[in-house]
Amino acid sequence: MAELTSWPDILTSILEGRDLSVAEATWAMRQVMAGAATPSQLGAFLVALRRKGETVDEVVGFRDAILEAALPLPVSADVLDIVGTGGDRVGTVNISTMAAVVAAASGVPVVKHGNKAASSSSGSSDVLAALGLDLTLAPEKVAQVLERTGITFAFASAFHPGFRHAGATRAELGIPTVFNFLGPLCNPARAEANAVGVAQLDRVPLITGVFRTRGATALVFRGDDGLDEMTTTGHTRVWEVSLGDIHEHDIYPPDLGLPLAQLDDLIGGDPAHNAEVVRRTLAGEQGAVRDVVLLNTAAGLVSYRLFRDPTQVQRPILERLTEALRDGAEVIDSGAASAKLDAWISATRELAA
């Protein structure tokens, strides 16, 4: 059957319940990224796709087209990203951002991919700006920050200018679409190791399927409290993706020596408030925020170590997480995490000058 390469054919096919091939999905997203899709075409496409339900092949095609259109980030793919889909509407402190700093202080190269807040009061870029990072750097300078400090931030709106063509239509639709979970799949560094929190359980098979199809290593997780994080309030379901296999785990904090927390203990505020929480936590403050940051750091370290040595999957995940928790605690308590944050801030300012 010939591939479809026109909007009437694409829309008719979706409305009839037929799934798009990778090539057809890539064609459609290329049109969107280039601004060649009209608002009516894009709106119809997003709604019809949601009604039908997206497939792994479709999301693979969308991801490929988005990365094809992205500004290049000249770094090795031998990096870790710790990120969440957003959308849990809880408004926690910036857990994955803190975990990224601790992971980098542990010696893992991190390219944190993120954006402004969508469903919370402080997204990753909001809190990083409040901490004093300069987020206006050109791609080559973003790469230089990684070389200097072992961590850098890829601002999604800067690296994916094609997203602007979908912004108005998405806002007018006012419903979740495939764009709501594409971000964690589209790190311009094409990170080989990933720790990804997912708020919507039905999106997990799509996200794990994309990582498996593209040969990446990932820990994908969702807290039973609905958080797109490794939670400390109860159980977390974890899907471990490596070498084309997916292994599912149930993680319960007391099994790792962590006390259970209350969700209220993890709630944040505006960027200035959350930036202060970052400072206190990385300086060694004890409590529920430290515990959840260490658990999410551990997920990132386990993912990166699995990427470097796929035989790690043969070891019990609780054993691997326990080791990583200890490593994260050591870099916080030694002052290395705070020092890493300061070095990151300084590098962005120096390169912006």
- Binding annotation for Mg(2+): 96, 228-229
Q: What are phi and psi of 263, to 5 degrees?
A: -60, -35
- Token pair belonging to 280: 């206190």
- Token pair belonging to 147: 């070389």
Strands, E assignment, 235-322: 236-242, 245-251
Q: How far is CA 213 from CA 14, 219, 241, in A?
A: 22, 15, 10
Binding site residue list for anthranilate: 84, 115, 170
Residue 247 β-bridge partners: 240
Q: How far is CA 22 from CA 64, 104, 226, 351, in A?
A: 9, 35, 30, 39
Q: 227: number of CA atoms within 13 Å, CB side? A: 25
- Token pair belonging to 30: 């290329």
Longest dimension (CA), the chain: 61
- Token pair belonging to 18: 């037929």
- Token pair belonging to 257: 């020596």
Binding site residue list: 84, 87-88, 92, 94-97, 112-120, 124, 170, 228-229
Binding site residue list for 5-phospho-alpha-D-ribose 1-diphosphate: 84, 87-88, 92, 94-97, 112-120, 124
Q: What are phi and psi of 223, to 5 degrees?
A: -75, 145
- Token pair belonging to 308: 């470097």
